[in-house]
Amino acid sequence: MKCRVATKLFHLTQNKKKIACVSVLSLPKFLLGFNFLRLYSSNEATEMKLLNNNSLIILLLLLILAFTEVSSLEEGYSRDDFPPGFVFGSGTSAYQVEGAAEEDGRTRSIWDVFAHAGHSGGATGDVACDQYHKYKEDVKLMVDIGLDAYRFSISWSRLLPSGRGPVNPKGLQYYNNLIDELITHGIQPHVTLHHFDLPQVLEDEYGGIQPHVTLHHFDLPQVLEDEYGGWLSRESVRDFTAYADTCFKEFGDRVLHWTTINELNVFALGGYDQGVTPPGRCSLPFGLNCTEGNSSSEPYIAVHNMLLAHASATNLYKKQYQHKQHGSVGLSIYTYGAAPLNYPETMKTRVGSRLPAFTEDESEQVKGAIDFVGVINYMALYVKDNSSSLKQSLHDFNIDMAVELTLVGNTSFNNEYANTPWSLQQVLLYIKENYGNPPIYIAENGQMTPQSSSLEDTSRIQYLSSHIEAVLHSLRKGANVRGYFQWSLMDLYEVFGGYNMSYGLYYVDFKDPYLNRYPKLSAHWYSSFLGGTLHYRSHALSSAI
Ligand SMILES: *[C@@H]1O[C@H](CO)[C@@H](O)[C@H](O)[C@H]1NC(C)=O
Ligand SMILES: *[C@@H]1O[C@H](CO)[C@@H](O)[C@H](O)[C@H]1NC(C)=O
Ligand SMILES: *[C@@H]1O[C@H](CO)[C@@H](O)[C@H](O)[C@H]1NC(C)=O
Ligand SMILES: *[C@@H]1O[C@H](CO)[C@@H](O)[C@H](O)[C@H]1NC(C)=O
Ligand SMILES: *[C@@H]1O[C@H](CO)[C@@H](O)[C@H](O)[C@H]1NC(C)=O
C-alpha cells in the first residue's frame, strides 16, 4: 500500500505492515479517542503506560474510529464519487458583474448609492465585468469549464425600475437572453438534479447550464429605500412579493431554482449594524460614520421583514407556480451559525422589545417556507463565551450573542482565507442534525487572492479541492447536499476590497477596455475535475492545515 507523500497524511501500521492511509480529516476522531483514553487515566504516567502497553488496542480503537473515511481517502476522489444528480456550478451576482448600471432603463439600487459614496475604496459596479453585454462570451466560458449550473442574480431595479409596477422590457429581454443562452448550451449529458418531482421531460429538455437565480443580492431599488426605508418597512414585503411574482411568471418556465434573499444575515449585520455594506446604516458605538441608523434595533427589524418577504414569496410560488413549474425556492445564509426558523428563546429574552414579534399567522407562514437551504461558507471562527458583554447598557447583535469570535488563521480582507474544510463539513452536518436534513446547496465557497496575483492560483485549487472533498464526506455522512457553487466565475467587484481582491476562476483584465477574461489554473483544475479526468488525492487538505 502506498500513501501519497504529503505532510500530515500518514500511514497507520500494524505489525509494521501498512494498513491504511489517514488524513487529517479523521483527526478530530483520533483526538476524541485520546480524550476517551485520558478519561480513564488518572495521571500522565499511567496514560503513557497505557499508550505503550496497549498500543494494539489503541490502534484498533483508532481504526474503528477512522476506517470509514480512511477507505475512501486512500483512493482520493473524483467527480464520479458524487451522486448522479449532484450539480457543480459557479456564481456571480448582478451588481458585481453586469455593469451597464445606467443603461436600458435600469435605476440605482442601494448598492450603487453605497459604492458611489466611496465605501468600496471608490470602486463601483458601473462597468464591472460588463456581463450585460458579454453574457454570450461568459456562457462560453462556463461551457469551457463544463459547469452544470450558473448561479446569478436578477437586478430588481433593472427589471422593475420603479421598484414595483411596470416591467422594463429591456431588462426582461436581458434576463430572457441570458437564461436562454444558458439552457441552449447543453454540455454534459448527466446534467440536472432530481429535485422533488422534477419530471424527466424537463430534465431532458433543460439539459444545458441550469440557471440558479437569486432575487435579492444586496441590491434593493434605491427608490424604495427613499420612499419608505426599504427593508425597515413592512411595505417591502408586499413589493418584494410582487417582484418575485414577476420573476416566477416571466422566467419560471425555465428557472427551477430560486433563492429569494442572499445572505440575509450578513446583509442585516453589514447594512444595519456595522454600516459596512449597503444601505450603510448604523449607530455609535457599533458602527462608525453612518449618518443614520440604529444598530441596536434595525438589524432585527430588517431581518424580520426579510424573513416575512421570503416566506411570502415562497408561499406564493408554492400556491401558484410550483405545481406547473416544478421548481424550488430557498434562502441563502452566510454560515457561522444557522438560519433561525423561529427565534430561539434565548434570543427573545436577550433582545427583548428590540426583536419584532411574529404573529401566529406570520409564524405559520415562515415555518417550513423553504425547499432548500443555500449555505455560504468561506471561513471558520473560534467561539468563546463572553456573557459579561450582556452587562453593557447598549446592545447590538454581537453583544446579544454574548460570545467572543476569533477568526481561524490569518484571515483578513487582505489575506487569503485559511483552508478550513472542516468548517464547511461541520455546518452541513449541523444543518442535517438540527433542521431535519433539508436539501442544501452550497451557494458560495471559494478562495480570495489579490487580483494582481498570478494566474497560477494554486492556493485556490487547494482550497476548492479540499472543500469539495469535505462535501463528499458530508454526503457520505448523510447530509442532503444537492450541489456546490464555487464563488466566483470570474474576478468581479466585491463590496469589501472593490477590485483589489478576487475569487475568480477567470482573471479579468480591468485595465483592458475589452475586459478580456483569462483562465486561471483553477479554471483548468475545475474543468478537469468536472470532466472526470482528475482523480483527486487529498494532499491539499493536509498540507494546508
Ligand atoms: C470615519 O470618518 C473619519 C472622518 O471622515 C475617517 O477619518 C475615518 O477613517 C472613518 N472611519 C471609517 C471606519 O470609515
Ligand atoms: C435605538 O432603538 C432602541 C430600541 O428601539 C432605542 O431604545 C434607542 O434609543 C435607539 N437608539 C438610537 C441611537 O436611536
Ligand atoms: C466581552 O465583551 C465586552 C463587551 O463587548 C468586551 O469589552 C470584552 O472585550 C469582551 N471580552 C473578550 C474576552 O473578548
Ligand atoms: C498575517 O498576514 C499579514 C498581512 O498579510 C502578514 O504581515 C503576517 O506576517 C501574517 N501573519 C502570519 C502569522 O502569517
Ligand atoms: C484598492 O487598491 C487601491 C490601490 O492600492 C486603493 O487605492 C484602494 O483604496 C483599494 N480599494 C479597497 C476597497 O481597498
Is the model's pLDDT at 14 over the cut of 90?
Answer: no
Which among 406, 410, 501 is the best mutation to test ligand 4's pocket, defined by most ligand atoms within 8 Å of the CB?
Answer: 410
More confident residue, 31 or 272: 272
User: Grid coordinates standing for 175?
Assistant: 434576463
Percent of the chain with pLDDT over 70: 78
Best residue among 296, 392, 394 to mutate for probing ligand 2, ranked by most atoms within 8 Å of CB:
296
Q: How do residues 477-535 score in pLDDT, each as one tens digit?
A: 999 999 999 999 999 999 888 999 999 999 999 999 999 999 999 999 999 999 988 77
The whole-angstrom separation of Cα 351 and Cα 273 is 14
User: If you measure from the C-alpha of residue 525 to the centroid of ligand 2, how many angstroms do you get, rounded to a whole number?
Assistant: 51
**What is the atom index within ligand 5 of the atom nearest the CA of 496?**
13
Q: For residue 160, is pLDDT > 80?
A: yes
Protein residue with least CA distance to atom 2, ligand 4? 410
CA distance 474 to 429: 7
> Residue 75 has which C-alpha cell?
483512493
Residue among 250, 444, 469, 494 flagged as catalytic: 444
Q: What is the mean pLDDT of residues 281-299?
A: 92
**Can you give the pLDDT at residue 8?**
26
Which distant-in-sequence residues (6+ apart) come within 8 Å of 277 by Cβ? Answer: 114, 218, 266, 267, 270, 271, 495
Complete DSSP assignment for 47-82: HHHHHHHTHHHHHHHHHHHHHHHHHHHTT-B-GGGS
Q: Of 537 and 522, which is predicted with more confidence?
A: 522
68: confidence class by pLDDT, cuts 50, 70, 90: very low
Q: For the packed helices 27-39 and 44-53, what is the interaxial angle rounded to 10 degrees?
A: 120
pLDDT digits 0-9 by tens, 180-224: 899 888 533 222 222 222 333 334 444 567 888 888 888 999 999
Lookup result for grid cell 421583514: 305
φ and ψ at residue 49, rounded to 5 degrees:
-60, -45
263 a catalytic residue: yes
Predicted pLDDT of residue 450: 93
d(CA 490, CA 172): 24
Where are any strands of DSSP class E within 303-399? 328-334, 372-376, 381-385
* Ligand 3: residue whose CA is nearest its atom 8: 389
DSSP 378-402: ---EEEEE-GGGGGSSS--HHHHHT
Angle 276-280-285 from CA coordinates, rounded to 5°: 70
Which ligand lies nearest the alpha carbon of 452?
Answer: 5
Distance 290 CA to ligand 1 centre (A): 10
Q: What pLDDT does 51 receive?
A: 31
Percent of the chain past pLDDT 90, that is, above it, reads 52
pLDDT at 75: 59
One-letter amino acid for residue 222 of the chain: Q
Residue among 72, 372, 77 nearest 212 (CA): 372
Which range, of 185-199, 202-216, 360-374, 436-450, averages the lowest pLDDT? 185-199
Cβ of 404 less than 6 Å from ligand 3: yes
Residue nearest to atom 9 of ligand 5 (CA): 121
- Is residue 355 predicted with pLDDT exceeding 50? yes
Classify residue 90 by burial, with Cβ atoms within 10 Å: 0-12, 13-18, 19+: buried
Q: Averaged over 29-38, what is the pLDDT? A: 23
Q: Read off the pLDDT of residues 232-263 as tens digits, 9 standing for 90 and up.
A: 999 999 999 999 999 999 999 888 899 998 88
The CA distance from 425 to 360, in Å, is 35
> Residues 6 or more apart from 270 whose CB is under 8 A from it?
276, 277, 495
- Give the pLDDT of residue 350: 79
Which helix (H) or strand (E) segment holds residue 519: the answer is strand 517-519
Tell me the average pLDDT of the chain.
Answer: 79
The Cα 518–Cα 512 span in angstroms is 12
Residue found by looking up cell 488518572 in the block: 42
To test the pocket of ligand 2, the residue of 282, 294, 393 to mutate (highest count of ligand atoms within 8 Å of its CB) is 294
Which pLDDT value is given to residue 369?
A: 79
Is residue 537 over pLDDT 80? no
Q: What is the pLDDT of residue 145?
A: 95
Neighbours of 82 (CB within 10 A): 18
Top-confidence residue, 391 or 197: 391
Q: Quote the ligand 1 centre to 288 CA distance (angstroms).
A: 7
Residue 383 grid cell:
467561539
Looking at the CA of 409, which ligand is closest? 4
pLDDT for residue 398: 80
Ligand nearest to the CA of 272: 2
Whether 388 lines ligand 3, by a CB cut-off of 6 Å, is yes
Is the C-beta atom of 288 inside 6 A of ligand 1?
Answer: yes
**What's the grid cell of residue 167?**
416591467
Centre of ligand 5 to C-alpha 120, Å, is 8
Span 30-50, average pLDDT: 25
Instruction: State the pLDDT at residue 498.
Output: 93
* Interval 349-353 mean pLDDT: 80
> Relative to the alpha carbon of 115, which ligand is closest?
5
Residues with CB under 6 A from ligand 4: 410, 414-415
All residues at 6 or more sequence positions from 191 whose CB lies less than 8 Å from its CB, including other chains: 87, 148, 203, 206, 207, 208, 209, 210
Ligand 1 neighbourhood includes 289 CB (under 6 angstroms): yes
Question: In angstroms, rounded to a whole number, what is the distance separating the alpha carbons of residues 207 and 229?
Answer: 42
Residue 130 has pLDDT above 60, yes or no: yes
Higher pLDDT, residue 40 or 232: 232
Q: What pLDDT score does 209 carry?
A: 79
How far apart CA 376 and CA 506 sit, in angstroms, is 21
Q: Which listed residue (263, 416, 469, 494) is catalytic?
A: 263
Tell how far the Cα of 46 is from the centroid of ligand 5, in angstroms. Answer: 58
Q: Which of 261, 275, 333, 264 is nearest to 300 (CA)?
A: 264
pLDDT score for 413: 65
In this prediction, residue 342 has a pLDDT band, given cuts at 50, 70 and 90, of low
pLDDT of 74 > 70? The answer is no
Q: Is 205 a catalytic residue?
A: no
Secondary structure string (H, E, C) spanning 85-96: CCEEEEECCHHH
